[in-house]
Amino acid sequence: MKAIFTKDQTEAESLKEVLRLSDQLTEEVLSSDLLVIASPMWNFGLPSSLKAWDDHIVRPGKTFRYAGDGVEGRARGKKAILVLASGGVFSEGPWKSWDTVEPYLRLILGFIGITEVQTARAEGMNIPALTPYAIPAAERAIETLAI
Ligand SMILES: Cc1cc2nc3c(=O)[nH]c(=O)nc-3n(C[C@H](O)[C@H](O)[C@H](O)COP(=O)(O)O)c2cc1C
C-alpha cells in the first residue's frame, strides 16, 4: 500500500516550521507597544534577514485583514522607532531618493497599522569627513525621540 501526499512530506514539515516561526514573530509584534528596528543599509535597501522578518509578520488575519474594498492594519496603537545606519547620507541631499530602507519600513509598518514611526540615523558612517559626527548625531536624534 502506498500513501499519497498532496505535498512532499519533508516540504510539509518544513512549512510547519516556517509557520511556527511566523506565528511566534507575529505574536511578538502584536503583544508589543513599541517596536525598535535597527538596520544597516545594504545596497540601498534592507538586509535580506530583515526583509525575511517583514515577510513573516505581514500576515492576513493577524497583522492586517482584507476589509470592504481594501485592507486594514490590525497592529494599531503601537509606536515604532527606526535606527538606521548607512555609509552615505540619505536623510537629505543628492542620495535621498536612493534610500529604500526608511520608505519601505514605513510602508510595511503603515500597512499593518503602525503609523507613529520615528527615525534616528547614524549616517555618513563611511564618509571620512562625516564619520566623526555620525554617531554623536545619532545619539542626539535618539535623545529627541518621543517614546
Ligand atoms: C554588504 C554591505 C552593503 C552596503 N551597502 C551600502 C549602501 O548601499 N549605501 C550605504 O550608504 N552604505 C552601505 N554599506 C555601509 C553600511 O550601511 C554602514 O557601514 C553601516 O554603518 C553598517 O552598520 P553596522 O555597523 O551597524 O553594521 C554597506 C555595507 C555592507 C557590509
List the chain domain ranges.
9-143
Residue 5 has pLDDT above 70, yes or no: no
**What's the rounded mean pLDDT across residues 130-143?**
97
Give phi and psi for 64, each to the nearest 5. Answer: -150, 165
Q: 92, 96, 126, 127: which to mutate for ligand 1, most atoms within 8 A of CB?
A: 126
Closest by alpha carbon to 78, among 122, 128, 51, 113? 113
Cβ 101 vs Cβ 91: under 8 Å: no
Closest by alpha carbon to 55, among 8, 6, 111? 111
pTM, two decimal places: 0.92
Residue 122: pLDDT band (50, 70, 90) is very high
Distance between Cα 45 and ligand 1 center (Å): 10
86 three-class SS: strand
Q: Note the CATH number of domain 9-143.
A: 3.40.50.360
